[in-house]
Amino acid sequence: MQTVLTIAGSDPTGGAGLQADLQVIRHLGCHGAGVLSALTVQDTAKVHSVLPVFPSVVLDQLRTVLRDLRVDAVKIGMLATDDVVRNVILALAELDPSVPIVIDPVLQASDGKPLLERRAWAALTGLFARAALVTPNLPEAESLTGCSTASRAGCEDAAGVFLSELAANAVLIKGGHREGNPDDLLAWRDGEKERLEWLEGTRISSAGGPVHGTGCALSTSIAAGLARGLELREAVAAGRRFVARGLANTHSPGRGAAFLGFDEGA
């Protein structure tokens, strides 16, 4: 069984963060290992507060796990602070370079609560060159590149910045925040060339209203696909199908956002 290591914040509701990542990884037939970067006080409606884990503890967790487990892929989510980011970078320097890393650059919660301090952005983008894929949503892509993502042309400009200026090997700019069809843009480096591919999406309405945790589930499912040996584009396609099934089966355990639901065939 392949092992996927997730480095992420805690969501005590189980709808996102490390708890949701581990559910996704197990559902996709892999073993999930997890290192916490931050504790949160949140419910299904909002994030009330964030308490970062001591950076040295994050580093110790990672070094201990990586010396013991054979890790086949890594997913990185919320990291909270500059010092946590830098300690994650230190730990991953010891990881076999062939192990794929998927980075979900979580900057803030859907309710606007900051989840990564502004001074940490440069350190996070410094990790992009090591990643197989970076998966920003439209606001994150706009914040990290300075390009407007309101149009397809703007998204393509942002993808170019990720590949050239931020040294990413590949980026999936998620279109869920866009009006109309939530088409995603996949861009990757092919030798000296940059490739772009628009991936058509269909908006799936949830009876429970807004859905929590889609970004976590997508990046984690892609990491699981890479761990199982899928090529990047195959892993992205499989991850998008996985999330679409989850959106078609949402449930609402609380009074706020709905959660993705997965049947046994997912």
Cα(88)–Cα(106) distance, integer angstroms: 15
Of the candidates 11, 3, 42, the residue with the CA atom closest to the CA atom of residue 217: 11
Of the candidates 36, 103, 33, 101, the residue with the CA atom closest to the CA atom of residue 70: 33
Residue 62 belongs to a domain: yes
Predicted TM-score (pTM) of this structure: 0.95
Cα(35)–Cα(42) distance, integer angstroms: 19
Residue 49 belongs to a domain: yes
DSSP 8-state code for residue 84: H
Residue 160 pLDDT grade (very low, low, confident, very high; cuts 50, 70, 90): very high
Question: Alpha helices of the chain — where are they, by DSSP H?
Answer: 17-27, 55-68, 82-92, 121-125, 138-145, 152-164, 214-227, 232-247
Cα(37)–Cα(54) distance, integer angstroms: 8
Both tokens of residue 33?
Answer: 């290992």
Residue 104 belongs to a domain: yes
* Residue-wise pLDDT tens digits, 201-244: 788 766 656 788 899 999 999 999 999 999 999 999 999 999 99
Neighbours of 121 (CB within 10 A): 16
Residue 54 belongs to a domain: yes
Residue 50 belongs to a domain: yes
Show the domain range for 178: 3-259
Q: Would you say 99 and 71 are in contact if contact means Cβ atoms under 8 Å apart? A: yes
The CATH number that applies at residue 39 is 3.40.1190.20
Residue 176 belongs to a domain: yes
Indicate the number of domains in the chain. Answer: 1
* Residue-wise pLDDT tens digits, 116-146: 999 999 999 999 999 999 999 999 999 999 9
pLDDT given for residue 266 in this prediction:
43
Residue 264 belongs to a domain: no
